[in-house]
Structure 1
């Protein structure tokens, strides 16, 4: 048998419906070469379901079987018996001699992810560094102190973040700035905004939340600086008094919440969704529940904090080292950081209810957010058992409030236990996207801490990690919504990684992150990002050529008026290609070619197909790529959608012809190609208007 002709995945062409409900009759389809198989069985547990030959097309036979999948996870593989007497198994790896349990296909009845999120183009905004639309809400220099450093207003928008004090440096970016740039995002092709934390917090990154109930007025609106004079600040710290007045003032908080609701509404008018960062594992030492810094000590309307008051209603929200007064003995901090007190859910049902309420609040009227990105989600709680219990309840309650909300977790390592259909929808795809793409194209790790030349151009490692390691984690609903980033707020900018320079801004000058970069490698990465299954997610400024080592240098400002115009134009074209080709949103994927410094893969459905080819060699090559396994005609014609090399990129629509199922492709050095076959473009006008084309009798 020709095992290269075998194919099945969990897309709509081979599993219908692709996200079946509990007890649904579901149609499974398997493909092989015409006349090759004598029998095909779908195997689930001890049951062997015989499949029936139902269609022959383009030299392939399609076998079908309909099964009631019940209510439990439906785990299956295929067994194929050839007319030549040969025998093969088929699981997520393809044709194999032995089935691997973790690589069997898995359907979870009743588990679906939002349709809008599948393949959606996302854009991550670190608000303080994106755009300053309202200078009147800026943090003032010396307004308060945090971790021994005074808050600083940065006057030079283009200056580098200080690696020692960046957490309390403020450039002034805010929600008004985002509102002002929504048309820019729409024009770029963005479909979802992912905001880094927005809630009240003393830091620029806001992963140390002070008040989950409100948007920070320094991101929102400061309508008045007034408020009661706090006795402890009358003489000692007038600046801190001003901060307290600003961030506890109800008018400021309400105005900021109202502005955020407007941002979401205006984004929705432009068909842009909005998801929030949910930092629920820990809060900040400034938090009104702990109040280590005495922010809320004498503010009207706030209870005493657990750090200072024996009778605080929030005492059980935290794990103190002793359960008696004084409570300001040491408390449990995330990774030992005393500015990030870990929340003690097991100790307080009230805390759990409160955070669940926060999860529901922001996806409901009047804010109407479209979901959550969950920070360090697997760390929440003090046991894995409780962690799963919490996220099951969180999912249930949030989905009741907004059935179309997505629940997307930050997680490193295996995530299958949380992607069971009862907890998270999907994850930030570090393990099966960011890291393997970085290894293949640059040999660097995602922090720029290490360079391994042996990884550069290792196409076998690339596919094994992207396809097969990812296959162990994901079912189809999770894979097609996974957040595929090249850069973000925790890792070095991808463009800096292309220099293969090891270091951070505390060991190298920040300016060195901009030197030695190879823009053609960045373009190759974006080609992969915009054509791989999942939700391609831009980190603000990547499209404009922003560089930077890892945190905090990766949090530079967006260079308005100084963008890399070519890089920006390239991103816009690749986003357009991604959105115009349905097979790139929800189609199948298949490895087509893998050798050192060269690889090619295909994305396809029954009507169209994309070939992506990347040449990392410093010389021209010609490779014969078998494209017939995508199910296309053996004499198909591909249109060039994009070609990029060391000089730039080109979208001229040249044509390349397939001969006997093989695409012979000549590529100059350091090149990337995106080519497309469309069956509708191959149809003549006479065929299109004929009754037979539409299947009429």
Structure 2
């Protein structure tokens, strides 16, 4: 065994509380290097009466490692443990103090220790987030419902977007199209900023307690939230707390009065007076944007103001969550206090941070419920859009990400394929609707909380900002209705299928087919086999199976598939796909159309 590849550390993603009674214990070994792992565990104060042994399950593998896991319910909510690893005739035992060739005889010989499952430390995201299908709306570009509040020089709907122009999208426009979202199956909306600002994107906040007048009023937002709730749709707003806008009154005061301003400590000023020079600003900003000065979230008055903002929209307007802009550049202590305020206002509020890298330090139960899962986005784009990786590399990358986080974190990760900050999915897929379908199909049959960027469901394209922020197309003749139907059916299938939301995932290697991605989703008795053909030629895929389960498949007519010599033979069109359900059917280039249960509970 390659001992240097074996890794475990208590807490974080390696041993964590799944709930108030259950621990998940994980271990990493070199890929295909270990035959069996046993978990030896017991109570540290009563080892002789409580110790036991449990085989660990190898739940996933990536390019370098195998990942093992066991679930344990310690009777007294505390646990000490060690591992026994076996390969052929070789056995080693891993304790906190290191490796040894024999199992320890007493519990105090340097075992790993999970001191206690304190309920306050258990990561508990809102339950509804696991069942949510989010839809991201860029307010100025979704729909214009009240032309009387349009900005000056508003441009005709559907014109060419620029970094500075406006098209008059507003809150009434969203209210007018809630039936459209309901029909699509959406049950949650994420709005880009709604608060008063000077730009069309509104990330330069002027007033955090006022809806931008070009979008509506606070009362109109309350009307929108109530209308959404009546249709089973939750609402998440964008909080820009890393920085403000240059018209934010405290910053204006500092510009006018300099160091004498009572707000001087609200910002990170490196040199007085405030100035914009050729080599940058004399104050910290978001990126290098002079109109977005960075807020000092360690300042007591700034903290009090922003926490009041967070509470106000939850309690007075009734929103269901916050998306946090540039979350990784704000101090951790602020976010801990933010979470406390938010959860006191609404224990079921969903908190999502904008972080584009590994985010475990923010996902330990004391700050965020989720982050915008851009690493997931990039893995999917590399395979489906750019075609720079094969199916094996894709599965390896996904497994690595699953191993990097506890299971409850993965179950509510904010999984997106595009946003206002990225090129449109259709453009990245070089105009291929079929490849858009494959990527979306994986997103909607994968653990986590999926989010759809407005217009992707009808085939809107667009390169980087501002081209990715075009006006929503409302003329049915210009919409891809077949793509819309695909999105609607896939959303419905996910919402009706616990295995596609909460179940385990297992990738299946397909010999001699680098572009065939196959995986299983399973929860209790519900089981799906999903096969995607990410290439421009038809193929008959031979999927190895380990049981005699019969699978039902839709290819125009319902057909039962049964393994021959432990292999399923599945014909797939170019960029085709199949979703097979044990003893049921949802598959093919189109879904079975006899799902008659209501979309919303």
Q: Aligned-pair distance for 1:487?
A: 1.3
Q: Is the 8 A contact 1:281 1:377 kept in 2?
A: yes
Is the aligned partner of 1:416 residue 2:355?
A: no
Mind listing any 5+ residue stretches in structure 1 that lack a counterpart?
1-16, 31-36, 54-61, 91-103, 142-152, 221-255, 292-304, 381-386, 444-452, 500-516, 629-633, 644-649, 682-697
Find 1:67's aligned residue among 71, 74, 86.
74
Distance 2:141 2:502 in 1: 33
Q: Aligned-pair distance for 1:575?
A: 0.5
Find 2:242's aligned residue among 272, 277, 281.
281
Q: Is the 8 A contact 2:558 2:585 kept in 1?
A: no
Distance 1:601 1:88 in 2: 33
Find 2:538's aligned residue among 614, 620, 627.
620
Q: Is the 8 A contact 2:23 2:71 kept in 1?
A: no
Q: Is the 8 A contact 1:611 1:674 kept in 2?
A: yes
State how 1:583-662 maps to structure 2 within 5 Å: 583-594=499-510, 595-628=513-546, 634-640=547-553, 653-659=558-564, 661-662=566-567
Find 1:313's aligned residue among 244, 262, 267.
262
Post-superposition Cα deviations, 1:161-195, rounded to whole Å, max 9, x if no partner, equal: 13xxx2x2111111001111111111110011000
Q: Aligned-pair distance for 1:18?
A: 7.7
Is the aligned partner of 1:218 residue 2:214?
A: yes
SS at 1:307 equivalent: helix
Q: Aligned-pair distance for 1:67?
A: 1.2
Range 279-288 or range 666-675, more displaced:
666-675
State how 1:259-408 maps to structure 2 within 5 Å: 259-291=220-252, 305-310=253-258, 311-322=260-271, 330-346=282-298, 348-364=299-315, 366-380=316-330, 387-408=331-352
Residues 160 and 42 of structure 1: CA distance in aligned 2, closer, same or farther (over 3 Å): farther
Distance 1:394 1:63 in 2: 34
Residues 39 and 556 of structure 1: CA distance in aligned 2, closer, same or farther (over 3 Å): closer
Distance 2:434 2:274 in 1: 62
Distance 1:308 1:80 in 2: 68
Residues 327 and 130 of structure 1: CA distance in aligned 2, closer, same or farther (over 3 Å): closer
Q: Aligned-pair distance for 1:461?
A: 1.9
SS at 2:220 equivalent: helix
SS at 2:468 equivalent: helix
Distance 1:437 1:75 in 2: 39
SS at 2:251 equivalent: coil
Range 331-340 or range 524-533, more displaced:
331-340
Q: Is the 8 A contact 1:607 1:679 kept in 2?
A: no
SS at 1:308 equivalent: helix
For normalisation by structure 2, the TM-score amounts to: 0.79
Distance 2:83 2:545 in 1: 23
Q: Which residue of 2 aligns with 1:579?
A: 495
Distance 1:658 1:581 in 2: 24
Distance 2:269 2:189 in 1: 38
Residues 627 and 88 of structure 1: CA distance in aligned 2, closer, same or farther (over 3 Å): farther
Distance 2:274 2:515 in 1: 64
Distance 2:321 2:76 in 1: 29
Q: Which residue of 2 aligns with 1:463?
A: 395
Distance 1:45 1:438 in 2: 46
Distance 1:38 1:662 in 2: 27
Distance 1:38 1:377 in 2: 41
Q: Which residue of 1 aligns with 2:5?
A: none
Is the aligned partner of 1:434 residue 2:347?
A: no
Find 1:204's aligned residue among 177, 195, 200.
200
Q: Which residue of 1 aligns with 2:104?
A: none
Distance 2:92 2:578 in 1: 34
Distance 2:159 2:81 in 1: 56
Q: Is the 8 A contact 1:284 1:341 kept in 2?
A: yes
Is the aligned partner of 1:667 residue 2:572?
A: yes
Q: Aligned-pair distance for 1:491?
A: 0.3
CA RMSD between the two structures: 3.5
Q: Which residue of 1 aligns with 2:595?
A: none
Q: Is the 8 A contact 2:130 2:411 kept in 1?
A: yes
Q: Aligned-pair distance for 1:666?
A: 2.4
SS at 1:306 equivalent: helix
Residues 25 and 564 of structure 1: CA distance in aligned 2, closer, same or farther (over 3 Å): closer
SS at 2:507 equivalent: strand
Q: Aligned-pair distance for 1:38?
A: 10
State how 1:501-540 maps to structure 2 within 5 Å: 517-540=431-454
Q: Aligned-pair distance for 1:88?
A: 9.8
Q: Is the 8 A contact 1:583 1:608 kept in 2?
A: yes
Q: Which residue of 1 aligns with 2:11?
A: none
Q: Is the 8 A contact 2:39 2:81 kept in 1?
A: no
Q: Aligned-pair distance for 1:442?
A: 2.2
Range 116-125 or range 318-327, more displaced:
318-327
Q: Aligned-pair distance for 1:326?
A: 9.6
Q: Which residue of 2 aligns with 1:552?
A: 466
Q: Which residue of 1 aligns with 2:19?
A: 20
Q: Aligned-pair distance for 1:86?
A: 7.5
SS at 1:351 equivalent: helix
Q: Aligned-pair distance for 1:132?
A: 0.4
Distance 2:489 2:577 in 1: 14
Mind listing any 5+ residue stretches in structure 2 that lack a counterpart?
1-15, 28-34, 56-68, 95-113, 587-601
Distance 1:262 1:40 in 2: 57
Q: Is the 8 A contact 2:276 2:290 kept in 1?
A: no
